[in-house]
Amino acid sequence: MSLLKLKDIEKVVDGERILKGINLEIEEGDFVAIIGPSGSGKSSLLYIMGLLDIPSSGEIYYKGEFLDLKNREFLSDFRNKKMGFVFQFHYLIPELTLLENVMAPQIKKGVSLKEAEEKARYLLERLGLSGKEKRMVYEVSGGEMQRAAIARALANDPEILLCDEPTGNLDSKNTERVMEIFEELNREGKTVVMVTHDLSLSKRTKRVIEMLDGEIIKIS
């Protein structure tokens, strides 16, 4: 049974079909790269997979269960518990320390402050940010920010990690480090879906989905 199944997904924005008849299954433990030129619908597809955006038509199943896409509260709760997002820019909350940023999704889940802090410290340490827990976002480098963002995405131990150009803003050294983290997480059983325009990165994933003009043109 697939982890995530998209059936006949269409997305229309201002009269324009930006996603056309998407049918896609993501298996548990998969590592998928979504590639394609700008405007091909990669990010739109990722947002729909992550339940951040609602398709104009079509259905989404998670482990075979139909998801009620009209219930925003349910979708938010589902996203909090099952999914982790990593964006091109770190998008950490600047008012919070790195530690607090990683604690935020856990507190939303209902984890106690103490447990959330312990887990956040563990994740930051695992991603090489030990000793920088109390730093504010602007006090660390771009690579460190992105690793903190990955730690935040992992905070609630999600089943699927959705990444939108996660290395798009990093130098080659940090890109390599982030990719190694994703590979390691995938080896541990995490499902990773990554939107990228960097073909060299897509070669390191298990599957590649090619998109053009809102359609999947090839899955390899």
Partner 1 sequence: MIASIFISRAFLKKRKKQTAVSILGVAISVTAFIVMSSIMFGFQKYFIQQIIDIEAHLTIKPKEEIDEGRIIRRIEPEALVKVFGNKPKEKDKILGWREIIRRLERHPEVIGVAPHLESKGVLKYGAKEKPVSLIGIDPKREAKTSVIERFLEYKNLKELESRRDTIIVGKVVARDLGIKEIGKKVVLALPNGETKILKIVDFFNSGITNIDSSRVYLPIKTLQAFLGRPDEVNILIVKIKDVNRAEALARELKKEIRYEVESWQRAYLNFLKIFKVQNMITYMIVFAIITVSAFGIFNIIMMTVMEKRKEIAILMAMGYTPRDITSIFLFSGIIISLLGGVLGFIMAWGILEYLSSLELNIEGLLRSKGFILDRSIKYYFAGFLLSFFFSLLASFYPAYKASKLNPVEIFRSL
- Which spans of this chain sit near partner 1 (rule: CB under 8 A)? 43-44, 47, 50, 52-53, 72-73, 76-81, 83, 85, 87, 89, 91-96, 100, 103-105, 107-109, 113, 152, 156, 164
Identify the DSSP state of 97.
Answer: B
CB of 110 to partner 1, least distance (A): 8
CB proximity list for 33: less than 8 A, separation 6 or greater: 194, 195, 196, 201, 202, 205, 207, 208, 209
* Element containing residue 218 per DSSP (H, E): strand 215-219
Strands 31-35 and 207-212, by their bridges, are parallel
Tell me how far apart the alpha carbons of residues 136 and 23 are, in angstroms, rounded to a whole number. Answer: 42
Tell me how far apart the alpha carbons of residues 210 and 162 are, in angstroms, rounded to a whole number. Answer: 16
CB of 111 to partner 1, least distance (A): 10
Nearest to partner 1 of 109, 177 (CB atom) = 109
Nearest to partner 1 of 53, 183 (CB atom) = 53
Nearest to partner 1 of 72, 187 (CB atom) = 72
Nearest to partner 1 of 16, 172 (CB atom) = 16
CB of 162 to partner 1, least distance (A): 9
